[in-house]
Chains A and B, each alone.
Chain A
Amino acid sequence: MAIALDVALAHLTSRKRQTLVSLTGVVLGVAFFLAVSSLMRGSEKDFIKRLVDNSPHITVYDDVRHGRAQPAELRWPDAAVSVRNVKPPRETRGIRGWPQRLEFIEALPGVRAAPVLAGAAVLTFAGRQQAVTLSGAIPEKMKQVTVIEEKMTAGSLDALAADPNGIVIGQGLVDKFALHMGSSVNVLAADGTSRPLRVVGIFRTGNAAYDEGQAFVLLKRAQALLGRENRVNRVIIQLADPYDARDVAQTIEAASGYKSVSWVEASEDILSLLLVRNVIMYSVVSAILVVAAFGIYNTISTIVMEKTRDIAIMKAMGFHARDLKRIFLLEGLIVGLIGSALGVLLGLVLMGALGQVAIRPPGVSEVVRLPVWWGAEQYALAVVFAMLSCLAASYLPARRAGAVHPVDILRGAA
């Protein structure tokens, strides 16, 4: 191996300009690979973080994925059973025995949960009406699983616990109805039940539809208004590690029977889109390295052509075909290694520079920095791809060198 390395280095150093051009191709390829990859992955991570932070990691609904099996189907599982005119029992909808289920969920490691009863209601004030989603919650638990408390511009969720007739509404509704803290609004449920409630908190999320269409009351108050005593119709869950959501959701669904939807399942289409985007991005940046590989192929091919006599005499002296192949593969490997190392360094500089770029999207007052991801796997990916490209580029010339027949060359030279 030492001889092969000596010869490979001698070949490369004797053609400094060609080697430098090949090397530059790999350096730029790896650097741009890293720069683009860090930006794309950075924006992906940023997007997912926003997705995960602003929505429940898991939501347990008062619903089931599959209808309950009929006794006849259970009795004769292999038979062609047809049960007609099945009517589900009339009952108040909601998660049955939710305190026990909540206890089970909260006992799972790294899990925080809050029961919610959400239903449609109409807010009326001074003859004006607005349909809202009324969410009954336990303030103490709700604060643990949502960021709504951080979005409060006046009052707090805790005020609901102190005032059972309180309501927390969004800034959109406040603006629309010209309300203020302490204003009294009337809440009308679907069955006609109506109750005046006092504004004890105002939130602003920036999402206009949410700020106009969402209201929070105490869970007991919502149960009374919506006519669903002792029921909740969803449990909102946050996890210590959001990426455990799929597994935890399966565990909860298996134990409770209620449909548990993780954020991964709820955002499957977006995550698929991100995956496709990554495939496209890596295909494009890899193309740079493929082009760089052509430079290496050209350099090593030229060396093989120019050194045919040397190759012939080395074979005549007692070098095996595999020894000659190794020399030229090493040349590709050396260019790949040095190019990758320098490319990673240049890539880090580019990534640092991109991380400093500040932009202000139209209509947004906050300055946003480009999201750069510094994860280790992209370096490994860039280096592995660069090395494979270099080896592939040197393989054909190396094979040609190994196939040189000394006599053919010596006859020609004589």
Chain B
Amino acid sequence: MSDAAAPAMPVIRVENVTRTLPGEVPVTLVRDVNLAIERGEFVCVMGPSGSGKSSLLYLLGLLDMPTSGRIWIDGEDTTRFDDDKLTDFRLARLGYVFQFHFLLAEFSVVDNVALPIRKLGRLSDDAAHDRAAQLLDRLGLEGQHAKRPSQLSGGQRQRVAIARALANDPLVILADEPTGNLDSAASANVRDVLRGLTRDLNKTVVAVTHDAQFAAAADRRIGIVDGRIDLAWRPA
């Protein structure tokens, strides 16, 4: 069989993943999840509060490790990685957007975006700042580069966070309630930006959200209830 004829390998493959917090009364956050997400796909994970959406996202983002099961990202079995490899993998291949922007308050907007580029070390500091500036411009933040995060609106901060997530040209963007703190106009803007990343840049976006309007823009919506994937789940 030729390569051209081979089926595209999913960029994320989750196999029988369970995450249980140890303790006197162990708590299972994610239970026996199986999942495949293709390159360029925009996937929303939805479900009631406490259902395990964010826990699943942290597992996909390699911020947490499954108690059992396997997670492949870009064909690599990440459950075999040690802590150093996981950290390097996150830096080079994954990008994160959270409900809170988590920008460093003491740094300018462009410095915030340049930070992961400088950390990766493939570009000089000047080149890192140039790339950060381009990303900010692409996200409609021209003229805001030198400002501190506190000088921006909520929507602008979230776009800076998206620019930071894109800094090292990752395969996958993981977003945890990215519009949770935004008004409807800013939410729509962030949604469009993320949607654009999949269409224009062929990035994979996995977002956890409660926002049905946001989720409507996704290629696929995955319901999760009590830590299990529930294909029949629909928002109320």
Contact = CB atoms under 8 A, between A and B. Distances in A.
Interface of A: 2-3, 6-7, 10-11, 13-14, 309-310, 312-321, 323, 406-407, 410-411, 413-414
Contact of B119 (A319, A406, A410, A414): A319
A317 B90 contact: yes
28 contacts: A3-B115, A6-B111, A7-B104, A10-B104, A10-B106, A11-B106, A309-B100, A315-B87, A316-B63, A316-B90, A317-B115, A317-B116, A317-B119, A318-B87, A318-B90, A318-B92, A319-B91, A319-B119, A320-B87, A407-B58, A407-B63, A410-B98, A411-B54, A413-B100, A414-B98, A414-B99, A414-B176, A414-B177
Contacts of A309: 100, 102
Contacts of B63: 316, 406-407, 410
A2 B129 CA distance: 14
B107 interface: yes
B83 to A, nearest CB: 8
Interface residues of B, number: 32
A373 to B, nearest CB: 44
B66 interface: no
Interface of B: 54, 58, 61, 63-64, 83-84, 87-88, 90-92, 96, 98-100, 102, 104-107, 111, 115-116, 118-120, 125, 164, 168, 176-177
A411 to B, nearest CB: 7
B107 A3 contact: no
Contacts of A14: 105-106
B88 A318 contact: yes
Given A2-B118, A410-B176, A310 B91 contact: no
A13 B83 CA distance: 32
Nearest to A307: B104
B118 A3 contact: yes
A10 B115 CA distance: 13
Contacts of A2: 118, 125
Label chain A's interface by main secondary structure.
helix
A317 B62 CA distance: 11
A323 B105 CA distance: 19
Given A10-B106, A316-B63, A414-B98, 17 more contacts: A14-B105, A14-B106, A312-B102, A313-B96, A313-B98, A313-B102, A314-B115, A316-B61, A317-B164, A318-B90, A318-B116, A320-B84, A321-B83, A410-B54, A410-B176, A414-B54, A414-B99
A319 B87 contact: yes
Contacts of B176: 410, 414
A391 to B, nearest CB: 23
A304 to B, nearest CB: 14
A3 to B, nearest CB: 5
B58 A3 contact: no
Contacts of B119: 3, 317-319, 323
Contacts of B177: 414
Nearest to B93: A318
Given A2-B118, A317-B119, A318-B120, A10 B58 contact: no
Nearest to B91: A318
B113 to A, nearest CB: 11
A11 B100 CA distance: 20
Contacts of B105: 14, 310
A179 B119 CA distance: 92
A403 B134 CA distance: 34
A411 B99 CA distance: 11
Contacts of B87: 315, 318-320
Nearest to B180: A414
A323 B104 CA distance: 16
A123 B92 CA distance: 100
Contacts of B106: 10-11, 13-14
Contacts of B64: 407
Contact of A317 (B58, B84, B91, B125): B91
Nearest to B84: A320
A320 B119 CA distance: 10
Contacts of A317: 90-91, 96, 115-116, 119, 164
A137 B84 CA distance: 82
Contacts of B84: 320
Contacts of B111: 6
Contacts of B54: 410-411, 414
A305 to B, nearest CB: 15
A411 B87 CA distance: 19
Nearest to B102: A313
Question: Across chains A and B, which 4 residue pairs bring their CB atoms closest together, nearest first?
Answer: A318-B91, A10-B106, A313-B102, A14-B106
Given A2-B125, A10-B107, A406-B63, A310 B90 contact: no
A10 B61 CA distance: 28
B96 A316 contact: yes
A314 B99 CA distance: 16
Nearest to A318: B91
A72 B92 CA distance: 88
A110 to B, nearest CB: 59
A227 B116 CA distance: 96
Contact of B104 (A310, A315, A320, A410): A310
A330 to B, nearest CB: 15
A404 B111 CA distance: 23
Contacts of A11: 106
Q: Which of A2, A315, A316, A411 lies at the interface centre, i.e. has the most chain B CB atoms within 10 A of its CB?
A: A316
Contacts of B92: 318
